[in-house]
Amino acid sequence: MCHRKGLAAAIVMLIVAAACGTGGDQAGEVRPQPTVTVTVTASPDADGPCADPPSGTDLIFVGQPSPGERVTSPFTVDGCSSTFEANVVWELLDADGGTLADGSTMGGTMGQPERFSFDVEFDVTGEEIGTLRVYESSAEDGSELHVNSLPLVLQP
C-alpha cells in the first residue's frame, strides 16, 4: 500500500512539475526573441555645420547664429561653404538697410565644403532687427550668389 501511495505521489509531482516547468510551451519549442536595433548617429554639431553637406556643389549656409536669435557685439558666425576660390562675403545690416559691418572670409572650394567662422562687431543704441547676409560674389560680374539672409535681434 505504501508503494502505491508513493507511486501516486510521484505521478502527481511529475504532472505539476511538467505544467509549471515549461510554462505551457511544448518541449523543445524555440520562441523567437525580439530584435533590437541600435543606430548611432552623430549629433548635429559633431562636425559643425559641415557635418553632411552635399559634395560637388557650390553652397553657403550659416549654422550659427540661428534666425531670430538675439546677439550682442561681438558675435561669432559659423557656417559651411563651397564657393569659387573659397571666398565668402558677409554684411550686417541695420533695420533701415544700412551697413553696420562687413567683411569676407574663406571656406571650401572646388566642390569640397569646408567650415568658415568669423566675428562680427557692431554698435547700436537700442534693440533693433538687423539682417546678416552671407553670400558668394560672382567672379564674372560681381552678382551675389548663394545668398543667406538671417534676421537677427541686435542688442546694444
- What integer pLDDT is reported at residue 89 of this predicted model? 96
Please name which of 87, 96, 105 lies closest in space to residue 131, comparing C-alpha atoms: 96
In the chain, where are the structural domains located?
49-155
- What stretch of H or E contains 114? strand 114-120
Average pLDDT, the chain: 78
State how far the Cα of 144 lies from the Cα of 58, in Å rounded to an integer: 13
| Mean pLDDT on 86-109 | 95
The structural architecture, per CATH, of the domain 49-155 is Sandwich (2.60)
- What integer pLDDT is reported at residue 61 of this predicted model? 85
Lowest mean pLDDT: which of 55-64, 78-87, 109-118, 141-150?
55-64
State how far the Cα of 12 lies from the Cα of 9, in Å rounded to an integer: 5
Helices (H), the chain: 2-21
pTM value surpassing 0.75: no
Residue 85 has phi, psi (to 5 degrees) of 55, 20
Give the confidence band of 4 by pLDDT, cuts at 50, 70, 90: very low
* 72 within 8 A of 93, measured Cβ to Cβ: no
Q: Could you read off the pLDDT of 25-60 as tens digits, one per residue?
A: 555 565 554 444 333 333 344 456 677 766 666 788
Is residue 144 pLDDT above 90, yes or no? Answer: yes
